[in-house]
């Protein structure tokens, strides 16, 4: 997909009143990526937690820590 095509599609979405960042598109088929929840192992502390979407890999406890928020984790 050409860069201009993406910009044109985002402009059209904005004109329709839809959020430009509503859901990411899969590059292969331009359909919304499904968010898969599930039990995952935190990459920071190794505890198991329920993720809210497929890319969430850090638990809420770790994300709430001062170390994580300072960018040192």
Question: 3-state class of 25 per DSSP?
Answer: strand
17-70 tens-digit pLDDT: 555 555 565 566 565 556 788 899 999 999 999 998 888 999 999 999 998 889
Q: How far apart are CA 73 and CA 65, in angstroms?
A: 9
Give me the count of residues in the chain.
73
5-14 tens-digit pLDDT: 665 665 555 5
Residue 39 is encoded by which pair of tokens? 């039990």
pLDDT of 1 reads 47
Q: Model-level pTM greater than 0.85?
A: no
Q: How far apart are CA 58 and CA 73, in angstroms?
A: 11
pLDDT of 54 reads 84
pLDDT of 59 reads 96
Listed in sequence order, the residues at least 6 apart from 69 whose beta carbon sits closer than 8 Å to its beta carbon are: 63
């Amino acid at each position: 997909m050409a860069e201009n095509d993406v910009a044109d599609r985002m402009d059209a979405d904005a004109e329709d009143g839809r959020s430009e960042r509503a859901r990411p598109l899969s590059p292969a088929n331009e359909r919304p990526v499904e968010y898969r929840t599930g039990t995952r192992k935190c990459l920071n502390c190794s505890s198991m937690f329920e993720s809210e979407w497929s890319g969430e890999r850090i638990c809420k406890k770790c994300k709430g820590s001062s170390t994580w928020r300072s960018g040192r984790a």
